[in-house]
Structure 1
Amino acid sequence: MKPTLLSITIASILFSGTASAEVGPEDLPSMVVSADFRPAAAQDIPVSLTTFDDTIIESRGAQHIEDVLNLAPNVNISSGASRGQYFQIRGIGERSQFSAPLNPSVGLIIDGIDFSRTGGAATLFDIEQVEVLRGPQGTRYGTNALAGVVNLQSKQATNEFDMNFESTLADYDTREIGIAVGGPIVKDALLGRIAVHTHQSDGYMDNDFLGRDNTQDRDEITARGHLKFLVSDDLTVDLNLLHLNIDNGYDAFSFDNSRSTLSDQPGEDKQRTNALALKSDWQINNAVSMQSALTYSKSDITYSYDADWGFAGIHPDEYIATENFMRERENVSFESRLISDEAGRIFGGSTDWVLGFYHLSQDEDLDLVSDFGNLQNEYETENTAVFGQLDTYLTSKLTLISGLRVERFSADYEDSNGLDLDPSETLFGGKLGLNYQLNADHMAFTSLSRGYKSGGVNNNDALPLSKREFDTEYMWNLEAGLKSSWLDGDLVTNLTAFYAWRRDAQVKSSIALPGGEFLDSLDNAARGTNVGIEFDADWLVNDKLRLFAAVGLLRATFDEYDNPELQAEGFDIEGRRQAHAPAYQFTLGGEIYLNQNWTLRANVEGKDEFYFSNSHNAKSGSYAITNASLEYQHQNWRVTLWGRNLFDKDYYTRGFFFGNDPRIGYADKAYKQLGDPRVVGLTVSYDY
Structure 2
Amino acid sequence: MKTKILTGSMIAAYALLNIPAFAEEVTLDPIVVSADFREAKLSETANSVSVIGEEEIYDKSSSAFEEVIGKTPNVNFASGASRAHYIQIRGIGERSQFSTPVNPSVGLNIDGIEFSQSALAVTLFDVNQIEVLRGPQGTTFGATGMAGVVNIQSNEPTKETEGHIEATVGNYNTKALGAAIGGTLIEDTLLGRFSIYKNTSDGFMKNWHIDSEGNEISQDDTNNIDELTAKAKLRWFASDNHTIDLNYMHIDVDNGYDAFSLDNTRTTHSDEQGKDTQKTDAFSLISTYQVNPKMHLVSKVSHSNSDLEYSYDEDWSYVGEFSDTLGPYSYFDQYLRDREQTDMDVRLVSDEEGRIFNNSTDWTMGVYLKNYSEDLTRNRRKEDVYVLFTNDYSTKNRAIYGQLDSTLTPKLTLTTGFRAEKWEVSYSDSDNSNIHTDENLFGGKIGLQYQHDNSHLYYVSLSKGYKPGGVNADNNVPSPEYKEYQTESLWNIDAGVNANYFENTLISRLNLFYGKRKDQQVKIYDAYALQEWSDYLTNAAEGHYYGLEAELDYYPNDTVHFYGSLGLLKSKFDDYAEYDAQGNLVPSFLEGRAPAHAPEYQYNIGVDYRFVENWTFKANAEGKGSYYFSNTHNEKSTAYTLFNSSLEYTYDNWTATVWVRNLTDEDYYVRGFYWYQDPAIGYAESRYTQFGAPRTVGFTVAYDF
SS of structure 1 residue aligned to 2:555: strand
Identity of aligned residues (%): 45
Secondary structure at 2:565 match in 1: strand
Give the match's secondary structure for 1:513.
Answer: strand
Describe the superposition over 1:102-146 as per-residue Cα deviations: whole angstroms up to 9, x where unpaired. Answer: 101000111111111111011111111111000000000000111
- Contact 2:247/2:284 (<8 A) preserved: yes
Secondary structure, in 3 states, of the residue corresponding to 1:68?
helix
Q: 1:187: which partner in 2? A: 187
Deviations 1:207-258 (A, max 9, x none): 0213000000011000000000011221000000000000000000011211
Amino acid at match of 2:363: W
Contact 1:194 1:225 in 2 (8 A): yes
1:426 is paired with a residue whose SS is strand
| Letter of the 2:616 counterpart | T
Aligned pair count reads 663
Asked if structure 2 preserves the Cα contact closer than 8 Å seen for 1:63 and 1:125, the reply is: no
Contact 1:88-1:106 within 8 A present in 2 as well: yes
Does structure 1 residue 331 correspond to structure 2 residue 341? Answer: yes
Please give the alpha-carbon distance, in whole angstroms, between the structure 2 residues aligned to 1:40 and 1:27: 14
Deviation at 1:371, TM superposition (A): 2.3
Q: Distance in 2 between matches of 1:517 and 1:233?
A: 64
Quote the offset at 1:506 in angstroms.
Answer: 0.6
Q: How do residues 432-511 of structure 1 correspond to structure 2 at under 5 angstroms?
A: 432-463=446-477, 464-511=479-526
| Residue 532 of structure 2: aligned partner | 517
Give the distance between the partners of 1:91 and 1:62, measured in 2 at CA.
27
| Helix, strand or coil at the partner of 1:254 | coil
Q: 1:523: Cα distance to partner?
A: 1.2
Partner of 2:89: 89
Question: Does the aligned pair in 2 maintain the 1:190–1:229 contact within 8 Å?
Answer: yes
Contact 2:167 2:701 (C-alpha < 8 Å) held by counterparts? yes
Give yes or no for contact 1:60–1:629 (8 Å, CA) kept in 2: no
* Alpha-carbon offset, residue 54 of structure 1: 1.9
Please give the alpha-carbon distance, in whole angstroms, between the structure 1 residues aligned to 2:246 and 2:480: 46
Check if 1:359 corresponds to 2:373. no
The answer to whether the 8 Å contact 1:63/1:124 transfers is yes
Measured after TM superposition, the shift of residue 562 of structure 1 is 1.3
Cα distance in 1, alignment partners of residues 369 and 554 from structure 2? 43
Normalised by the length of structure 1, the TM-score is 0.95
Asked if structure 2 preserves the Cα contact closer than 8 Å seen for 1:429 and 1:452, the reply is: yes
Q: 1:568 to 1:408 in 2, by over 3 A?
A: closer
Q: Where in structure 2 are the equivalents of 1:657-672 lying within 5 Å?
A: 657-672=674-689
Q: Map of 1:192-211 to 2, 5 A cutoff?
A: 192-209=192-209, 210-211=217-218
Report the secondary structure of 1:71's partner residue. Answer: coil
Residue 294 of structure 1: aligned partner: 301
What RMSD over aligned residues (CA atoms) do the two structures have, in Å?
Answer: 1.5
The 1-side partners of 2:80 and 2:119 are apart by 12
d(CA) in 2 for partners of 1:480, 1:466:
39
Contact 1:131 1:150 in 2 (8 A): yes
Is the 8 Å Cα contact of residues 371 and 394 (structure 2) preserved in structure 1? Answer: yes
Correspondence for 1:585: 602
Flag the 1:27–1:644 CA change in 2: closer, same or farther, 3 A.
farther
| Contact kept? 2:29, 2:43, Cα under 8 Å | no
* 1:591 to partner: Cα distance: 0.4
Distance 1:393 1:641 in 2: 50
Give the superposition deviation at 1:62. 4.3
Q: Distance in 2 between matches of 1:227 and 1:582?
A: 42
Which has the higher mean CA deviation after the structures are superposed, 621-630 or 505-514?
505-514
**Matching residue's letter, 2:573:** F
2:420 paired with 1:406: yes
Which of residues 431, 435, 450 in structure 1 aligns to 2:445? 431
Stretches of structure 1 lacking an aligned partner (at least 5 in a row) = 1-25
Bigger mean CA deviation after superposition, 418-427 or 458-467? 458-467
1:555 aligns with 2:579: no
Q: CA deviation at 1:622?
A: 0.2
In the alignment, the residues of structure 1 paired with residue 418 and residue 62 of structure 2 have an alpha-carbon distance, to the nearest angstrom, of 37
What amino acid is aligned across from residue 178 of structure 1 in structure 2? Answer: G
Q: Could you tell me which residue of structure 2 aligns to residue 281 of structure 1?
A: 288
Does 1:219 pair with 2:233?
Answer: no
Contact between 1:387 and 1:403, CA under 8 Å: does it hold in 2?
A: yes
Q: Deviations over 1:599-639 (max 9, x none)?
A: 00110001100001111001111000001111000110000
Give how far 1:29 is off: 6.7
Q: Secondary structure at the match of 2:159?
A: coil
CA distance in 2, matches of 1:651, 1:299: 32
Displacement after TM superposition at 1:60 (Å): 4.0
Matched residue SS, 2:536:
strand
Partner of 2:550: 535
CA distance in 2, matches of 1:51, 1:451: 22
1:163 equivalent in structure 2:
163
Kept after mapping to 2: 8 A contact 1:61/1:642: no
**1:61 and 1:681 in contact (8 A); partners too:** no
Deviation, 1:59, is 3.2
- Offset of 1:520 from its aligned partner? 1.7
Offset at residue 39 of structure 1 (A): 1.1
Q: CA deviation at 1:65?
A: 1.3
Structure 2 match to 1:228: 235
Correspondences of 1:639-650 after superposition (within 5 Å): 639-650=656-667
Counterpart for residue 3 of structure 1 = none
Would the aligned equivalents of 1:157 and 1:191 in 2 still touch at CA under 8 Å? Answer: yes
CA distance in 1, matches of 2:251, 2:157: 20
Mapped to 1, the partners of 2:30 and 2:320 lie a distance apart of: 60
CA distance in 2, matches of 1:281, 1:540: 38
